Amino acid sequence: MLEVGDIYKNYAGKPLLQGVSFGVGEGETVCLLGPSGSGKSTLLRIIAGLELPEAGKILWDGKDMASIPVHRRNFGLMFQDYALLPHRSVAENVAFGLRMQALTRAEIQARVAESLEKVHMAAFAPRRVTDLSGGEQQRVALARALAPRPRLLMLDEPLGALDRTLREQLIEELHRLLQTTGIPAIYVTHDQEEAFALADRLVMLHDGRVEQVGSPAEVYGRPASAWAARFLGFNNLIAGSVAALDPLRVNTAIGTFQPAEMPIPIPALGSPVTLLIRPTGVKLAGNDHQVNQVSGVVEDALFQGDRFRIGLGCTLAVSLQFYLPEPLIPGQNAVLVIEASSIVCLE
């Protein structure tokens, strides 16, 4: 439905977006994931028509949106800090978009009530928006964006300013809302947890380019690059080189590893690669293995309820983290064996 084609945009003389392309299908929620300053919000504003790109196209059902002004696009945008109109009440804020569609008063009232009901804010209708808490403002902003039944909903870091419990609760609600309304949505965030929870598809932005596209499971299972892995919160990354191809063997400074899967495209023999070692799927080694084992000094063991997080210093430069069911004593040597499926060869 929405097609974003090769968008270029400069900000303050520096390139911000350098040829970003992606699409949003019917009823699909796409998460734009990237660190702050990666141009996610600008991309949303370009799609909304609030900003013009230097190059590139925004297509809706194959139709170029360039000539259509902001207010005729019928795209909903929820602003990062909500941008609720301070001189209007909660109900008036939600009614705003409906009045622009020149609906009758009765229709507007019904739709406002319905929208506020959806976000559990019906009781707040006559209140001033300036009296609301952050979470309440967030809900009103969502109701306001949804009320005119936009053909595309864009959310710019909607949970960014809220505390963790509220966030988790609102993620659930948002998820349900996006599922039930079936409105295609673009959700911008820098938080991979939010993105994983909500996205049908992830679009990861890095340095103004699309780093990786895929379902949350695909992206989590196989980050496209060391940068992507690090951004997703994986810290066990080791540089190595391809030693053999069938089966794949990678030599590193802390040993030789045999990942379960071959990366695509297949790397050349001797080419440099990065290994991602997942912190789960390890156990204490009973006897000595030739491959897929790491040894080092236990640096710390943190109790995390159902498991211990172990820091293992393999060399002076390389320190890895693992989750184990049992504690290890800091200062002692330990040898761990890693399941092949927990080792991913990147690039």
Partner 1 sequence: MRFIAARDDRRPIGAFFTRYAGVWLWLLPLLFLGLFFFYPLGAVFHLAINWAFTQGWSVDVWEQVAHPLLFTVWQALLSTLLTLVLGLPAAYVLARYTFPGKTVLQVLTTLPFILPTIVVAVAFNALLGPRGVINVLLMQAFNLANPPLQVMNTLGLILLAHVFYNTTIVIRIVGSAWSQLDQRLEQAARVLGASSTKVAWEVTLPLLRPSILAASLLVFLFDFTSFGVILLLGGPHFATLEVEIYTQALQMLNLPLAGLLSAIQLLCTLLLTVVYARLGDKQPIPLIPRLQGEGTRPPRGWRQKLLVAGMAAVLLALLVSPLAALALRSVTRLDANRGERGPVIPGLTLDYYRQLFINQQDSIFYVPPVQAARNSLAYALATTGLSLSMGFLAVYAMRTRSRRWMEALFMLPLGASAVTLGLGFILVFNRPPLDVRSFPWLVPVAHSLVALPFVVRTLQPVLLSIPGSLRQAAAVLGASPWRVWLEVDLPVMLRAVLVSAILSFTISLGEFGATSFLARPEYPTLPIAIFRFLSLPGALNYGQALAMATVLMAVCGISILIMDKMSV
Q: How far is the CB of 342 from partner 1 (least distance, A)?
A: 45
Write the interaction track for partner 1 spanning residues 145-184; mark x where CB under 8 A is met and - where it is not: x--x------------------------------------
Interaction of residue 13 with partner 1, rule CB under 8 A: no
Sign of CA dihedral 138, 140, 145, 147: positive
Interaction of residue 50 with partner 1, rule CB under 8 A: yes
Interaction of residue 76 with partner 1, rule CB under 8 A: yes
Q: How far is the CB of 95 from partner 1 (least distance, A)?
A: 10
| φ, ψ (nearest 5 deg) of residue 17 | -115, 130
Q: How far is the CB of 38 from partner 1 (least distance, A)?
A: 20
Stretch of residues binding partner 1 (CB under 8 A), selected from 16-24, 46-54, 273-281, 321-329:
46-54
In the sheet with 63-64, reading across from the earlier edge strand, the strands are: 14-24, 2-11, 55-60, 63-64
**CA distances (Å), 203 to each of 24, 41, 54, 227, in order?**
10, 13, 21, 14
Stretch of residues binding partner 1 (CB under 8 A), selected from 44-52, 191-199, 202-210, 227-235:
44-52
Interaction of residue 55 with partner 1, rule CB under 8 A: no
Q: Is 344 in contact with 328 (CB distance < 8 Å)?
A: no
Say if residue 61 is exposed, middle or buried (CB neighbours under 10 Å; 0-12, 13-18, 19+): exposed
Structure tokens at 339: 């399941």
User: Nearest-CA neighbor of 8 among 209, 204, 188, 212?
Assistant: 209
**Distance, CA of 179 to chain centre:** 18
Q: Which of 13, 86, 265, 305 binds partner 1 (CB under 8 A)?
A: 86
CB-wise, 8 or 79, nearer to partner 1?
Answer: 79
The residues of the shown chain that bind partner 1, judged by CB under 8 A, are 45, 48-50, 69-77, 79, 81, 83-87, 96-97, 100-101, 130, 144-145, 148
